[in-house]
Structures are given as structure tokens and as C-alpha cells.
Amino acid sequence: MKLHVNDLSKSFDGRTVLDSASYTFEKGKIYGLLGRNGAGKTTMFNCLVGNITPDKGGATFEEDSVEPSKAKIREATFDDIGFVFTDPHLPEFMTGQEFLKYFIEISKDKIKGNVNLDEAFELINFEKHDRYKLIRDYSHGMKNKLQMLAFLILRPSVIFLDEPLASFDVVAALQMKKLIESMKSEHIIIFSTHILPLAQDLCDEIVILHNGKLSALNSEKMNDKDFENEIVKLLTEENSTDENQTDESATEGSRDG
């Protein structure tokens, strides 16, 4: 199973954020997407899930096949991809229990097998008394846990995680890290982060988004002492300060839409 990002381009007010970005992501790997603030990481995610319309390009999904020559390649759809936002989008008037029950009900055609609510909450170590609180009273980390649980239940083929561990405490972050690792054999997992040690620890490959392009780093060098310096050098070459404002406006636009 592969996700092919093909010539993805997006500009805002004449400023290029994504410039024919292309890359192939494969099942069984965790990819760390690194880039400076405003490089276009969130814009790329939003383009691929349909929250933003790209100027050009898109993504195709290649399903598994015993014979690679006969693999089915089709346009990637919303059902193929799950997007775990940095800022959770949840109905705050519901309790966690009500939301999860509602989510399972509306997603029943996409979920394989039956889901036990208690077992699901235990999967992310969600305390029983917290399940019956209104979501608006949850901490940011608790909201992120609940959002991630929804995607764990739905299990889309491709999972985008936008700064997934930023709001978790040390224990919760370790739990989420183990969950992500346990899922990679059957999924394509891509997460953006500004924390290089996290990417080095969790990822099989690190992909750089810089100057609108996607490029891979040599995974064999991830633990070399000069790896960090190499990344810093790459991300400071021909950097445009205008990109920062562009990606922030793109993020705001996607949330409004």
C-alpha cells in the first residue's frame, strides 16, 4: 500500500507554499515530516484531505497486490485518510462517552467489527470519571487523546498527525508513541513535528518540506552526530520569510472552511 503525492502545488496571494511537491509514502513505515514554521506542512495535509483545494496535483492511492504489476492505483479519497489536528475539532457540548458513541454510530459502515466503548477508552488510558465530563472541560491533551482514539477506531489507511504529542505529558506521550508504533504495520503514518529527537526516536524515515518541495533524508544517518547540523543547513538554504505568514493564513482558512 502506497500514497503517492504528485506535483502538489498551492499558493496564497501569489506566494508559493507547495511547489510541485512529490513523494511516495509506504505502508509499514512511520514518516516524520520536518520543516520550519510556515513551510507548508499543515497546508499539505489540508490539501490531501480536501480541506483546501490545491492549485495543481494531488494524491493517488496504490492498494496492496500479490503482483505489483497489477496493483490498483486510484485517486486518494477522504475515506483513505485520517487527519489528527493539532487543535482538536470536537463537539464540546458532548461528554467524551457521548461523542465516542455518536462517532461509532455515524461511522459504522467504515468500522470493521464491533467496538467496545470501555475497551476503546482503556486503549488510551482514559480515566472512567473523565469519560462523563463535557469535552469543553477537558484539557488540550485529553481532547487530543479523544480525537486520536476516534481515528484508532476508524483505522484509515493513511494517518496524518499534526504535532501529535505536543500537548501530552510525559506518560501520555509515551503511551501514544507506543500506540503509533503498534499501528504502523497496517498503515501509512505521517506526522509533522518540530522536535528532532522525537522524529529520530519514532520514525523510520524523515522527510523534509522546504521551499515547497519534499525530499528524503538518508535514514541510515539519523543517529549520526552531524545529522542535526545537516538538517539545520538544509532548512536554512534559500528560506523565504514570507512562507511563515502564508502557511498560517492557510491554516486559518482551512479551519473556517
In a domain, 93, yes or no: no
146-160 as b/e: b if 16+ CB within 10 A:
bbbbbbbbbebbbbb
Question: CATH number, domain at 37?
Answer: 3.40.50.300
In a domain, 140, yes or no: no
- pLDDT digits over 76-108, tens only? 877 788 888 778 889 999 999 999 999 999 888
pTM to 2 decimals? 0.80
For the chain, the domain total comes to 1
Domain containing 6 equals 2-88+156-256
Beta bridge partners of 73: 62
- pLDDT digits over 146-168, tens only? 988 888 888 888 988 887 776 67
**Contact between residue 25 and residue 188 where contact means Cβ atoms under 8 Å apart:** yes
3-state secondary structure of 205: strand
In a domain, 247, yes or no: yes
Starting at the edge strand found earlier in the chain, the sheet holding 15-26 runs 15-26, 2-12, 56-62, 73-75
In a domain, 47, yes or no: yes
Residues of the chain with pLDDT under 70: 65-71, 166-167, 238-257
pLDDT for the residue 250: 42
